[in-house]
A and B are shown apart, each in its own frame.
Chain A
Amino acid sequence: MKLCKKVKVVDVRPFGQPMTAGPEFFELRLENPGWDEWKPGQFVMLRPTSFGLEHVWARPFSIAMCDKQELTLFIQRVGRGTAHIAALEPGDHVLVWGPLGTSFVQEPDTHTLLLAGGVGIAPFKGYAILHPKRDNLRLVFAHRASARCYPYEQLADAVKAERVQEEKPEHLARVITLLHERISQYADGLVLACGPAPFLTTVRKYALEYGARCQLSLENRMACGVGACLGCVTPGVDGENRRVCVEGPVFWAQDIALGGGK
């Protein structure tokens, strides 16, 4: 059951930066909207009151964690919409609808590789916390900004983790090399990835090459988040469009066509 609820902001906690207004990387903690259940990989649509009529769309964010008290999101400020969200203060109200979309599979006894690119690390926080056999998880985190800007340390405390930074375009090769190497080790396991489209395209390529079962969490601009507007579609390998908000955001890698190819 999806709910649309007005909830209070508990805290806006910047990562890797001083406590100044409008941080670039931050954790947004909200009151739990009264959900019965949710699964890692699902997302919410979030709309601060300050959007007014200027912004007609809410913004989609992966759920980092949700417990009985709080819903936590991890957000990077990129445009005017996220600037409004970064400027939120405790006690402010936001409208949230969710939980939305599909989730990552959880197979406790399968060796599972978590591949996160930048803010794509968000869903893996909840995934790791709720996984009954964390020894079977391994995280690879590729990032551009300093690792302190992301909830990486929290995750590295919970699961086996390594990271690779792409400070300059020349570093891209070492990201690709690491992804290739790790995926090749998980041919019999499970590979779960969340990050920007080129990152997912690379993951998909190696996962299919090594025959690893692989799920990818996609992002797209969304107007409604509930499957109505058809603005967020992505083509399947069969040529049929899939709605990222409903049939996704988490897809099996072999079902969708990424990067224009099959």
Chain B
Amino acid sequence: MMDTTVRLPGLTLKNPVLTASGTFGFGLEFEDFGDLRTLGGIVVKGMSLKPRQGNPMPRVAETACGMLNAIGIQNPGVESFIKNKLPHLPWEDTAIIANLYACTAEEFGELADILSAEEGVAALEVNVSCPNVKEGGAAFGQDPVQIGRVTEAVKAKARNKPVMVKLSPNVADIGVCARAAEAGGADMLSLINTVTGMAVDLVTRKPLLANVIGGLSGPAIKPVALRCVHQAVRAVKIPIIGLGGIVTARDALEFILVGAHAIQVGTANFLRPDAAFRLVQQLPKDMEIIGIGSLDELRGTLVLPGA
């Protein structure tokens, strides 16, 4: 029996496969396509204190081996999540991780206070890196001082829930941002969020997104994600959850090799709605093929030139 358990600060996952925020709704949308309880965890759609309608349409566009989105954190608000979604999720059998979005450190703290009181919430993921909203997100994500401040604000209200800070790749030095989150008290990091990008239509001469600029995700960004995880692993001591373009179990294992503790499956959920479930099934088989009995045997064993 292959051991796929992942032990993180204050959070044990039965396997390293989480679904990425914004790509898996509140999980319930995928119940027909697999057993949610088989997942290592579900990071639900980013939520704010009050409901948000998000950005104008069009707000998604397909690009080569990827897609752009500028949804703008459309969500029903934290109270609706707690009342209408959380009770229906199998939180006793899989880790439900809330993704927090706010415009100020104070609001982040307020959100953390509300969500950390919920037994069904296993951990908090702090979205300091959404590129698609003018206020908040992006500005926080590119400023190490703000990352530290927001992390502290969430951590102060997180009770016993572990806090995961989600970092943006759209920065000069991801190591600096990683260290800022660690210094702010983050228990772990998740990276990367989307890479800013745009697409245009030569016939209409318009951008494909109403927001003009959006976030690129999918297999196209996997090399960027691996590079960021590689650099972040070397910058901090806290565990890192890797994401960005993961489609197959082998992709997932590449992130573990580079040093990630667990991974998130994002855009692959759009390639097919059972992608995350299939990845969980395939993972032990691929571990056997590469000759490892546990993820610990592989984690961070990347052989660098000159080593």
**Which A residues lie at the B interface, using CB under 8 A?**
1-4, 47, 53-58, 81, 95, 97, 220-221, 223-234, 239-241, 246
- Spot the interface stretch: B56-64, B87-95, B106-114, B122-130: B56-64
B272 adjacent to A58 (CB under 8 Å): yes
A228 adjacent to B64 (CB under 8 Å): no
**Chain A positions within 8 Å of B273 at CB level:** 4, 97, 224-226
The verdict on B65 contacting chain A, using a C-beta distance below 8 Å, is yes
Are A221 and B271 CB-contacts (below 8 A) given A226-B29, A230-B54? no
Are A53 and B71 CB-contacts (below 8 A) given A95-B272, A226-B30? no
B74 adjacent to A230 (CB under 8 Å): yes
**Chain B positions within 8 Å of A229 at CB level:** 22-23, 25, 60, 69, 71, 270
Q: How many A-B residue pairs have CB under 8 A?
A: 99
Chain B interface size band reads 20 to 34
Interchain residue pairs with CB less than 8 A apart (10)? A53-B219, A56-B62, A56-B67, A56-B271, A57-B271, A226-B33, A230-B74, A231-B58, A231-B59, A241-B53
Alpha-carbon separation in the docked complex, A228 to B33 (Å): 13
Shortest Cβ distance from residue A28 to the other chain B in the assembled complex, whole angstroms: 19
Interface of B is mostly: loop
Are A47 and B62 CB-contacts (below 8 A) given A229-B71, A233-B74, A240-B53? no
Alpha-carbon separation in the docked complex, A246 to B29 (Å): 10
Alpha-carbon separation in the docked complex, A224 to B23 (Å): 8
What 1/0 flags go to B9-43 for Cβ under 8 Å of A? 00000000000001111000110110000000000
Interface of A is mostly: loop
A233 adjacent to B271 (CB under 8 Å): no
Cross-interface CB contact of A57 among B24, B247, B270, cutoff 8 Å: B270
**Chain A positions within 8 Å of B272 at CB level:** 4, 47, 58, 95, 97
Alpha-carbon separation in the docked complex, A239 to B54 (Å): 12
B29 adjacent to A231 (CB under 8 Å): no
Cross-interface CB contact of A3 among B32, B57, B61, B65, cutoff 8 Å: B32
The verdict on B259 contacting chain A, using a C-beta distance below 8 Å, is no
- Among B58, B67, B71, B247, which residue has the most Cβ atoms of chain A within 10 A? B67
B53 adjacent to A239 (CB under 8 Å): yes
A53 adjacent to B60 (CB under 8 Å): no
Cross-interface CB contact of B32 among A1, A47, A55, A239, cutoff 8 Å: A1
Alpha-carbon separation in the docked complex, A95 to B218 (Å): 19
**Chain A positions within 8 Å of B62 at CB level:** 55-57, 81, 221, 223
The verdict on B66 contacting chain A, using a C-beta distance below 8 Å, is yes
**Chain A positions within 8 Å of B71 at CB level:** 229-231
Q: Find the B residue at minimum CB distance from A227.
A: B29
The verdict on B254 contacting chain A, using a C-beta distance below 8 Å, is no
